[in-house]
Chain A
Amino acid sequence: MHIELRDIRKTFGDVRANDGISLAFEPGRIYGLLGENGAGKSTLMKILAGYQPADSGRILLNGQPAHFATPADALRRGVGMVYQDPLDFPPFTVLENYLLGRDRAVNLDFRQAAAELRAILDRYGFAVDMDAAIGSLSLGERQQLELVRLLAGGAQALILDEPTTGISASQKDALFATMRRMAAEEGKSIILVSHKLEEIQELCGHAFVLRKGQLVGETALPCPNRALVEMMFGQVPERTPRPPAAVEQPLLEISGLGVRTQRLTVGDINLSIRRGEVFGLAGLEGSGQALLMKAVAGLLPAASGRIALDGLDITHLDYHQTRAAGVAYVAAGRLEEGLIAGLSLTEHILLAAPRRDQTFFIRWGAARETTSGRIALCEVVGVPDSTAEQLSGGNQQRMLYAMLNEGLRLILLDQPTRGLDVRSADYIWELLYARRREGTAILFYSPDLDEIIERSDRIAVFSGGVMSRIVEAARTTADELGHLIGGQQ
């Protein structure tokens, strides 16, 4: 299907998310849509997928103008989109989820649906248990199911928004192979939204680059990375050099720690983190890194062992007590865990302040001033009275850092730069390095091995609840970590 977008415009308040974008997609080809955070990629694709209307501009499918009121509308015309967070129904089984919205009869025909679903799964080489509950699947598998739903709905054009965030390397390879086949054999148009240059280079034949809501360039791929980066940012951003290594003084000492949840048991963790150290945790999502961080934060009880911070036993402190002891925990979810929709940025800063700084009556003037300073420092695009949900995803992430208080001893970060582009991520790390110079230690998990190697002093890898030996970041490679993730020592 030939898709053409003509002069698409969309504003959110004062922000011109799409400022007159015109481009075209041919059938049977794979396109990359690149741009930094807030460049307007997701907005443009959501317009094309019927998720939101444009303020003005036209969508032409095979030369015919199209108007989509809903995503279902768009799918009927052959345009489907896989979102960053799957829009499935966790309590359902795979088969039930497939039937949802497809079969409107009172008496559902499970047998026929199972046959249909099996045929699609086989055709694209997806291995998913049809009776498994959606909630028990990995993000990669849920993504495959989203694809299946769109394909079954007759999608001729597929949009994938950051599809490789949070999935394993082998799932990524399988996904890319499927996309190549769909383009080559079935003539589907595929659009990959990403800010990971390597992936775009690997998969796509053509790239469009957006900046500040406008189309600033397009090129055939592969091409030098440098050319893409220049188009994305206007200039090539300098990476901050990593400040010198940590001071030799133990801060966090974990001995024989065990954590149990219904899904996973983590046993016998021994770890000593030094003052001012950046310690990276690698591994597939759900391998135990998050449990370790939650146990340290006091969000999960330790089943065994001891956790000491600066000599103080914090093993049995609850989350709020641990927080008072100078430990900050930044969760991966933004509007789910950390920010509160409907509350202003000032109100967030007030809530996050340490208890001793909280006064009975709120001094709004002073609070707004503090907030202005904090959001300026963390480059949050917004004003103190903006509400959390008015911020774009990247700005929400930066807001989480603006809420970190002074004088912290330990910062725990779950996917610190999730969804941020290179420059924003670099800036966040600059802020974190500044903390580290004050002696704050940082313990973080990231699904991105390159980020872990580049940012950490030392690294531990988790695989199925077991922590590997500790490796020096300066002397390891993504390849070595990959082996450790696979459970090889």
Chain B
Amino acid sequence: MKVVPLLKRIWPLMPVLASLAFILALLLIFGADPATAFQALWQGAFGSRDRLLGTLAFWIPLALCAIGLMLTFTAGLWNIGVEGQLILGSIGASWVALNLKGQPAWVLIPLELLAAMAAGALWAALSALLKTRGKVHEIFSGLALTNLAIILTNYLISGPWQPPEGGSFRGTQPFQEAALLPRLFDSRFSPLSLVLMSIALVIVAVLLGNTTWGLKLKALGRNSRSAFLLGVSSEREAVIAMMACGALAGLGGAVRVLSWFDSLRQSISGGIGFLALLVVMLSAYRMFWVPFVAFFFSAVLQGSITLQLRTQLHSSLGGILTGVLVLLTLLFGDYNHLRRLRKESRPDE
């Protein structure tokens, strides 16, 4: 009987160990030296000041999306459209940056951020209303709206917002310096974005843990029928949760155009919205773990770029590692949950 508590304690490590073993096997198959590979990965993520700042810069929008998703996941909503909401945020921020000329940074930046949050929230509201009014599942509307967002980006880049020297499908012309977020040491990392992300983290954590609204979301996510009977308005709360998530994703989109890049680009999101879904799942839907897991993802993905340069292995190895880790985590699940499934029972009447 002593095995069980021990197993329980090390259970969360199982998927980590298993995915490391999987990657190890993959490296050996391709004839790479695992030690070199992992060292390159580490170097790539944290090896120098610039690399560390790069990892931080990639982390911020990812964490913002994941924090927003905590709201929708808690309410039982599969907000797959977070990717599109992030892209719309980029477009919103770009619109302000390109159209308000000659304004100082302290006017431009708040307006850009607000426009980004509004655009993301609007895109999410479409998904939410399609669900509550049109009975369209948010997964399908989210995917469709994400595609529309990509098409809209391409249209803007090649059409109305193309650089004066002609459209190249690559991006708009770089924004005016005053429109960009102030960055540290010429890197892509903006300390202001870290501050905003931290504020978002605290606000969402408090909302979920200590407010009646957060409790309502939790109730909806677990049993919407009972929640309705207890007086929770499912439509209202679902729309608000989706819009709040969209606003945070939109803020992430603004960070992408205003500090990671300096213009609206073709693949502006870098898949961050979809990655954020994985981050939240790997965090077991716990707020505490979200920033750490997002940071881990960012480090692995940044590190694998160096991995490619050093070992000739493709940089998608980082993607494989995170993907396998999420799959295995979902597969192994929560030990207590698995046990419950086995013995779903109570002392009965």
Contact = CB atoms under 8 A, between A and B. Distances in A.
Interface of A: 12, 15, 17, 37-43, 46, 51-53, 319-320, 323, 329, 331, 335-343, 347-348, 350-352, 355, 358-362, 364, 389-394, 403, 419-421
A331 B215 contact: no
Contact of B230 (A17, A43, A352): A352
Nearest to B227: A340
A12 B219 CA distance: 25
Contact of A320 (B213, B225, B231, B343): B231
B347 interface: yes
B211 interface: yes
Given A338-B226, A403-B230, A350 B349 contact: no
B216 interface: yes
Contacts of B222: 340-343
A15 B347 contact: yes
B100 to A, nearest CB: 35
Residue with the greatest number of chain A CB neighbours at <10 A, chosen from B212, B213, B215, B230: B230
B233 interface: yes
A245 to B, nearest CB: 31
B99 interface: no
B346 A389 contact: yes
Contacts of A390: 346
Nearest to B343: A52
Contacts, number: 101
Given A343-B219, A360-B212, 6 more contacts: A337-B225, A347-B215, A359-B212, A360-B213, A391-B346, A392-B346
Given A351-B232, A362-B212, A362-B215, A37 B347 contact: no
Interface in B171-209: none
Contact of A319 (B212, B228, B346, B348): B228
Contacts of A360: 211-213
A340 B348 contact: no
Nearest to B213: A360
A350 B218 CA distance: 12
Contact of B226 (A43, A337, A362, A364): A337
Nearest to A424: B349
Given A340-B219, A341-B222, A392 B349 contact: yes
A297 to B, nearest CB: 9
A42 B349 contact: yes
Interface string B332-349: 000000000001011111
Given A362-B211, A362-B212, A393-B349, A331 B218 contact: no
A361 B211 contact: yes
Residue with the greatest number of chain A CB neighbours at <10 A, chosen from B211, B232, B347, B349: B349
A43 B345 CA distance: 8
Given A350-B212, A360-B212, A17 B229 contact: no
B210 interface: yes
B218 A421 contact: no
A340 B228 CA distance: 11
B223 interface: yes
Given A351-B227, A351-B230, A352-B231, A420 B349 contact: yes
A85 to B, nearest CB: 12
A52 B339 CA distance: 12
Contacts of B219: 340, 343, 347, 351
Contacts of A389: 346
A18 B153 CA distance: 65
24 contacts: A15-B347, A38-B347, A38-B348, A43-B345, A46-B348, A319-B228, A319-B229, A336-B223, A336-B225, A338-B226, A340-B219, A340-B230, A341-B223, A347-B219, A350-B215, A351-B227, A352-B231, A358-B212, A360-B211, A361-B211, A391-B346, A392-B347, A392-B348, A393-B346
A86 to B, nearest CB: 16
Contacts of A37: 349
Contacts of B229: 319, 329, 331, 337-338
A226 to B, nearest CB: 23
B348 A43 contact: yes
A320 B232 CA distance: 8
A348 B230 contact: yes
Residue with the greatest number of chain A CB neighbours at <10 A, chosen from B222, B228, B345: B345
> When A and B form their complex, which 7 residue pairs have the shortest distance between CB atoms, in order from nearest?
A42-B348, A17-B347, A37-B349, A393-B349, A340-B223, A12-B347, A394-B349
Nearest to B220: A340
Given A12-B347, A52-B345, A393-B348, A351 B213 contact: no
A448 to B, nearest CB: 16
A56 to B, nearest CB: 12
Contacts of B346: 12, 389-393
A343 B349 CA distance: 21
A330 to B, nearest CB: 9
Contacts of A343: 218-219, 222
A14 B212 CA distance: 31
Given A53-B343, A337-B225, A351 B231 contact: yes
A355 B227 CA distance: 14
Given A337-B225, A338-B229, A350-B215, A361 B347 contact: no
A394 B345 CA distance: 14
Contacts of A319: 228-229
Nearest to B228: A319
Contacts of A393: 346, 348-349
B86 to A, nearest CB: 29
A236 B213 CA distance: 47
A362 B212 CA distance: 6
A15 B348 CA distance: 11
Contacts of B215: 347, 350-351, 362
A193 to B, nearest CB: 10
Contacts of B225: 336-337
B233 A320 contact: yes
Nearest to A420: B349
Contacts of B226: 335-340
B296 to A, nearest CB: 27
Nearest to B224: A340
Contacts of B231: 320, 323, 351-352, 355
A443 to B, nearest CB: 17
